[in-house]
Amino acid sequence: MTAVSGREQLMEITRREIENAMSGNLDLAPSVLEVPTERYIDPEQWELEVERIFKRLPLALAFTDELREIGSYKSIEVAGVPVLITRTMENEVKAFVNMCSHRGAIVVDEGCGEARDFSCPYHAWLYDLEGNLQSVFDDSNFGEFDKTEFGLTPLPVAERAGLIWVTLNPKSNVDIDTFLSGYADVLEHLGFKDHVVAGKQPLDGPNWKVAYDGYRDFYHVPILHRNSFGPDGPYQADYYAWGPHVRVVSPKGHERLSDIPEDQWNVDDITGGVWTIFPNISIAGTPSTGYMVSMMFPGKSVTESYTIQNFTRPEPVPEGEEKELEDHMKFMGYVVGEEDYYTGKRVQRSLATGAKKVSMFGRNENGGQLFHRWVQALVDTPDEKLNELLEKGIDN
């Protein structure tokens, strides 16, 4: 879909969704998909997923807003890898393994901040924003020593559509644009380049795939969320894929646009639904009011994940109006933590009984179908074939 501009793609999808809303049609998957329950509970499968998905693919780990100024940085640990992202003096974004070249201490504590350089807390080796080793405390003890060889280990990094992607494997040769498959052109329209990150909160969840299944699923919304979102929300969805990335859209939400001329559709009108970025991001909200961006990561074992819910706003929250954001965050923490993940943790426990051999994804659940088919294709693909898979995609 890359030849068509992002905006035109959004317009085409909107037209299609109005058509489906008026005719009562849904673009269903060709068949039901059965996923072996073993794949949610097997520690070896889980390790392969961490290695071949989380450590090999670019992951959206930060917002442009978190690294807007020269000298801003973000330190975050993902799948056991400490990552440091910086905005350099040349106004470029760089990423590194956040590990000291001396004896491996983590150099920068987790969080966001601003700095001109980073002093290792163990023995004060000093690094600049480019990851170069600047100075060694009492360096006469290290003999002839070429400091340029002992910088922080760089990681592949790219900034697109107001998000910053990092690949955890320093030797990765995955091309970010191949991986995004044109998705950045449409993500642009969500407005993250200008949004501020107004709040963040963590949540514990079940196995990362159990958790992610919920983000590509409207089917459960009026049932599981009847007491929070209400019983009348749309439960039917169409799915649009760019490589492994999927937008989930409800035709029902488009009914009202049928008698509004196209030139009066605004950006909120053409960007509805839930946007997911493979393998672990879900984006819900609107460009004009802001988004909840859930970044979900595997936890310490096959049965655990954790999520950072990020709340963006088109403008900083005005002084005195913080309460609205606080209430919204509390509400979304409840919905995802006490409804989605509460249910997911129980799913996780019952999957472990082995009583059922498969989980089913109906023809109306193509988002989940595509997710599991991509996960398995990636798990089955060795390093030397990875770019080929990302270029060709999986059969639809």
Residues at the contact surface with Fe ion, assessed by CB under 5 A: 214, 340
CB nearer to Fe ion: give 17 or 340: 340
Residue 256's binding partner out of ligand FES, Fe ion, none, with CB under 5 to 8 Å set by partner kind: none
The Cα–Cα gap between 164 and 391 comes to: 21
Within a 10 A sphere around the Cβ of 142, how many other Cβ atoms?
A: 11
CB 294 within 8 A of CB 215: yes
Q: DSSP letters of 53-116?
A: IITTS-EEEEEGGGG-STTEEEEEEETTEEEEEEE-TTS-EEEEE-B-TTT--B-S-SEEEE-S
- Asked if residue 103 binds ligand FES (CB under 6 A), the reply is yes
**Please, which residue, 189 or 328, has the CB nearer to Fe ion?**
328
**Among Fe ion, ligand FES, none, partner that 340 touches (CB below 5 to 8 angstroms by kind):** Fe ion
Distance CA 136, CA 156 (A): 26
Which one, 152 or 180, has the nearer CB to ligand FES? 152
Q: How far is the CB of 103 from ligand FES (least distance, A)?
A: 4
Q: Which of the 8 DSSP states describes residue 317?
A: P
**Comparison of 138 and 384: residue with beta carbon closer to ligand FES:** 138
Question: Which residue stretch of 32-40, 97-105, 244-252, 341-349 sits at the interface with ligand FES (rule: CB under 6 A)?
Answer: 97-105
Edge-to-edge, what's the strand order for the sheet holding 133-135? 117-119, 126-128, 133-135
Binding mask 354-383 for ligand FES (x = CB under 6 A): ------------------------------
Note if the bond before 279 is cis, omega within 30 degrees.
Answer: yes
Give least dist CB 118 to ligand FES, A: 10
Residues 6+ apart with CB under 8 A from 321: none
Q: What is the DSSP-derived secondary structure letter of residue 220?
A: T
Shortest Cβ 238–Fe ion spacing (Å): 18
How many residues in the shown chain lie near ligand FES by CB under 6 A? 10
Q: Residue 66 Cβ, how far from ligand FES at the closest point, in Å?
A: 25
Long-range contacts of 99-102 (CB under 8 A, 24+ apart): 99/152, 99/153, 100/125, 101/125, 101/133, 101/150, 101/151, 101/152, 102/136, 102/150
CB of 226 to ligand FES, least distance (A): 53
- Residue from 102, 147, 313, 363 in contact with ligand FES (CB under 6 A): 102
**Would you say 120 or 155 has its CB closer to ligand FES?**
120
Give the separation between CA 8 and CA 16, rounded to whole angstroms. Answer: 12
Residue of the chain from 13, 21, 93, 100 that contacts ligand FES (CB under 6 A): 100
Binders of ligand FES among residues 105 to 134 (CB under 6 A) are 105, 120, 122-125
Q: How far is the CB of 339 from Fe ion (least distance, A)?
A: 6
Which one, of 291, 285, 294, 272, lies nearest residue 212 by Cα? 294
Is residue 99 a contact point for ligand FES (CB under 6 A)?
no
Check if the beta carbon of residue 274 is closer than 8 Å to that of residue 176. no
- Residues lying near ligand FES in the complex (CB under 6 A) are found at 100, 102-105, 120, 122-125
